A = this chain, B = another copy of it.
Amino acid sequence: MDERIREHAELLVDWSARIEAGDDVVLSVEEDAHDLAVAVAEVLGERGANVVTTYDSAEVSRAYLRAHDDDFEAPDHELALYENADSVLALRGGRNTYATADVDGETRQAVSRAKQPVREARLATDWVLTVHPTRSLAQQAGMSYEAYRDFVYDAVLRDWESLAEEMQELKEILDAASEVRLVSAGTDLTMSIEGRTAVNSAASVAYDSHNLPSGEVFTAPADTEGTVHFDVPMTIEGSRVRDVTLEFADGEVVDYAADVGEAAIADVLDTDEGARRLGELGIGMNRGIDRVTENILFDEKMGDTVHLALGRAYEACLPEGESGNDSAVHVDLITDVSEDSRIEVDGEVVQRNGRFRWEDGFESA
């Protein structure tokens, strides 16, 4: 076994999920994430944690969803599993990123709505999502398997404490601010972040950060106005989308277009009320991730990018007792801010053309 798989497993269990003896862990394994599952199980055994391993197969889901009449429910046994779990470790790594591409949008929405209580129970745990490099993901990235493995481990096996310090600076600026404006080619968007708390996403539940790798600072915007163009290609629920434009008024999407995958965007927007509002503004700061690989877990963390999510806001960004944007979905879209771009916070430029104001090469005007 590649020694990096073992290092990945230790980082996931210890740094990311902070698992201790006696913790009840759900280990969710996609079809080709077997080798990482074996390594994680070994570390969980060493730590004295308990484990239930679930099989998160896209082909099994597809068969079930296509055969069902769409009158879904949140089953007691699934709820009970997650309500009694301390942590959920989700190991992504399938065999075909389009395995569920022929499940129709209405079915996706129906199951997503019905299973909201299950999702909430899962999100209430110390959950962490990570990726095991598979041939399918290498293909999606347009890379050889060998090069893709190097890419994944370069992004994952980092000095997270050091990156956390770097990101703290931006978090403090956002926490103190009222408004963010994003300006780029085809984009001029204003969002309120008044009273919201930014998350220093350092790939650990101790930082309210649930992705490994991570490396972003994100918050929950409101009252969005203007237009945004997303030029980074994406795959949403099995469908490819590219060059998406969203127009906002009074916080809601009032118009949309996409060069590729407009129907997938329409399906997302139709899920529920909250799906038409933003739940997240994220600023990618992981410069270890140096290319788009059509995988949101990596792409949204890439340095010199900004992402916005339609749908559900993360609780960690909201003041105690305040509920942010609620939805059955959370769909990220990404835009490149490395050129002809700026991020303004309360009228001051914090980043221009990908350089932050505390970095060498920042141009103040």
Measuring CB to CB, which residues of chain A are less than 8 angstroms from any residue of chain B? 22, 24, 26-27, 29, 31, 34, 37-39, 41-46, 48, 50-57, 59-61, 63-69, 71, 73, 75-86
Contacts and interface: CB of A to CB of B under 8 A. Distances in A.
A75 B24 contact: yes
Contact of A46 (B24, B68, B76, B83): B68
* Copies per assembly: 2
Nearest to A59: B38
8 nearest A-B pairs in the assembled complex, by CB-CB distance:
A45-B67, A50-B75, A80-B80, A55-B55, A77-B84, A45-B68, A42-B63, A41-B64
Contact of A69 (B38, B48, B56, B84): B48
B45 A76 contact: no
Contacts of A85: 77
A344 to B, nearest CB: 46
Given A31-B34, A41-B63, A48-B71, 13 more contacts: A24-B76, A38-B60, A44-B67, A45-B65, A45-B68, A51-B64, A52-B54, A52-B75, A53-B54, A53-B55, A53-B56, A77-B82, A80-B84
A84 B68 CA distance: 21
Nearest to A83: B80
A305 to B, nearest CB: 34
B52 A78 contact: yes
B46 A67 contact: yes
A11 to B, nearest CB: 17
A121 to B, nearest CB: 11
